[in-house]
């Protein structure tokens, strides 16, 4: 007797259940932290057995990793997918300001800030969370930035260099102390215009080191 393949409705129900678990896990992890969250509590809140929960996520660590990826995925699509390649249809400087502004806006999304705070608070007791967070979140961002700069270098818009390193330098300049202030809750009223001005100054510094000769920052 052969087993039947899952139907579309079966897959839909499975996806809906997984979504419900992630929604509850997000709420509980952010409210209580990693250590205080249990799979039993999540199962109760979802409205099923712990056995059912383990059918979707084999451990709390796996669920936490999925929560990290899920928390970052939505904002990434919102802020980065609409961006045009560097140097296409606008100057390199303007392209980098758009890229840097999208990065800073993404890093200030409430859920993303809460996730970073959670990892920092828990990683001392649970060192495995650091690599887990890095692999599911920041590393993917670094890789994406490297791809963006590799494409710009291949197109001749930016001088050839290590695209991973160049992407990290732009990221570091854009974040500078602004993101730390956001994490500490002392950023104040950081308007969109203030953010864009900050990014513009960061891009100007970046261009002096890595920009094309014909598109240097204004003096």
Close Cβ partners of 143 (under 8 Å, ≥ 6 residues apart):
none
Mean confidence (pLDDT) of the chain: 87
pLDDT for position 172 = 94
Whether residue 218 is contained in a domain is answered as no
For 124, the 3-state DSSP assignment is: coil
Q: In which domain, by residue range, is 42 found? A: 10-58
Hey, what are 21's tokens?
């678990």
- Is residue 4 scored above 80 in pLDDT? no
Rounded to an integer, what distance in angstroms lies between the CA atom of residue 161 and that of residue 61?
A: 37
Phi, psi of 57 (to 5 degrees): -135, 120
How do residues 37-83 score in pLDDT, each as one tens digit?
999 999 999 987 888 899 999 999 999 999 998 888 777 777 777 77
- Whether residues 180 and 82 share a domain: the answer is yes
Average pLDDT over residues 13-21: 90
Q: How far apart are CA 119 and CA 28, in angstroms?
A: 14
118 and 180 fall within a common domain: yes
Say if residues 217 and 205 touch (Cβ distance below 8 Å).
yes
Q: What is the pLDDT of residue 1?
A: 45
Note the pLDDT of residue 40.
93
Considering the entire predicted model, what is its pTM? 0.81
Residues 6+ apart with CB under 8 A from 176: 198, 202
Positive or negative CA dihedral for 67, 69, 70, 72? Answer: positive
Q: Is there a single domain that holds both residue 20 and residue 111?
A: no
- Give the mean model confidence (pLDDT) for residues 188-217: 85
How many other C-beta atoms lie within 10 A of the C-beta of residue 45? 15
Q: What is the per-residue pLDDT for 106?
A: 87
User: Does position 18 have pLDDT exceeding 70, yes or no?
Assistant: yes
Rg (CA), the chain: 21
Same domain, 25 and 120: no
> What would the pLDDT profile of 79-119 be if each residue is shown by its tens digit?
777 778 898 888 999 999 999 999 998 888 888 899 999 99
pLDDT > 80? residue 215: no
Residues 31 and 54 in one domain: yes
Question: Do residues 45 and 89 both lie within one domain?
Answer: no
Residue 204 to residue 211: CA distance in whole angstroms: 9
What CATH number is given to the structural domain containing 86?
Answer: 1.10.357.10
């Amino acid at each position: 007797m052969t087993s039947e393949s899952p139907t579309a409705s079966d897959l839909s129900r499975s996806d809906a259940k997984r979504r419900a678990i992630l929604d509850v896990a997000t709420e509980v992890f952010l409210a209580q932290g990693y250590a205080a969250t249990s799979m039993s509590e999540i199962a109760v809140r979802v409205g099923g057995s712990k056995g059912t929960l383990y059918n979707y996520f084999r451990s709390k660590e796996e669920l936490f990793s999925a929560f990290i990826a899920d928390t970052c995925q939505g904002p990434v699509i919102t802020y980065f997918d609409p961006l045009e390649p560097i140097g296409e249809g606008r100057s390199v400087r303007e392209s980098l300001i758009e890229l840097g502004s999208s990065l800073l806006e993404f890093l200030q999304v409430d859920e993303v800030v809460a996730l970073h705070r959670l990892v920092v608070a828990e990683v001392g007791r649970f060192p495995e969370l650091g690599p887990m967070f890095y692999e599911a979140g920041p590393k993917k961002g670094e890789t994406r930035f490297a791809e963006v700069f590799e494409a710009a270098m291949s197109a001749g818009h930016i001088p050839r260099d290590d695209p991973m390193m160049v992407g990290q330098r732009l990221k570091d300049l854009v974040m500078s102390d602004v993101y730390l202030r956001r994490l500490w809750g002392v950023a104040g009223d950081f308007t969109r215009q203030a953010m864009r001005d900050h990014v513009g100054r960061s891009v100007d510094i970046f261009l002096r080191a890595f920009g094309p000769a014909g598109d240097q920052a204004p003096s």
